[in-house]
Amino acid sequence: MIEFSELEKSLGINFKDKEILAQSFCHRSYLNENLDFKRGNNERLEFLGDAVLELIVSHNLFRNHPNKEEGILTSLRAALVNSKMLCKIAKELNFGDFLLLSKGEKKEKGKARQEILANTIEAFIGALYVDQGYDICKSFVEKHIMPKLEMILANEDFIDAKSKFQEIAQAKEKITPRYDLLEEWGPDHNKTFVVGAFLEDKLISKGNGKSKQEAEEAAAEKGLNLKKWT
């Protein structure tokens, strides 16, 4: 069993319930090989942490950016809490060293591992909320997540690929892109979606993701690259 005291020390957080901390790092695959694990997987904590994270980020943006309109605030929030950003933060905090995975899942790298890391950040925040309350969660988010906002604003990363693709397509070709679901597979808790980005009836690019929105974003990003609109 992984010892989490090193993580607590590095974060400056001492969990009262050590088991809920371990649960927040427990991928569903781990339970198949460790039947004596006292808690379930981290998916319920991920559900809670997602909501807590969104509230804290939303309140921070609302309070500190009074002149920004709703649409910009929504885009900034999305850029701060998307799976790519959360995975980056998880790596910075060395969360990967504490994941509870099956032997097979440990061998998986790339996008699958990135998704697990991003989900674990949300599950950790859920566990932190249950164990320590809102204010400690707020401190964690403001220390480790909100500082990324400066980089996002500087690079205009909050302007998502779909928005860019639509804006340029309308300006250059007088066409509004559409996105069609082409394929999906996998169980309900772990589906993969493939979406096509079309300009009128012409398929420009395909993208896949764990949600339709993520697949659409991937298709738009590929479309921008293929059209050399970046």
Q: Which two tokens stand for residue 59?
A: 């309140």
Max intra-chain CA distance, the chain: 60
Strands of the chain (E only): list them.
Answer: 178-185, 192-199, 202-209
Catalytic residue among 46, 105, 122, 221: 122
Token readout for 38 is 């006292």
Separation of alpha carbons 104 and 88, rounded Å: 23
**105 an active-site residue?**
no
Residue 201, phi then psi, degrees to nearest 5: -100, 5
160 classed as catalytic: no
Taking the C-alpha atoms of residue 45 and residue 68, their distance in angstroms, rounded to an integer, is 32
Cβ contacts of 35 within 8 Å, gap of 6 or more: none
The one catalytic residue among 50, 105, 115, 131: 50
**Which DSSP letter does residue 26 get?**
B
**Rounded to an integer, what distance in angstroms lies between the CA atom of residue 230 and that of residue 228?**
6
- Which residues are annotated as catalytic? 50, 122
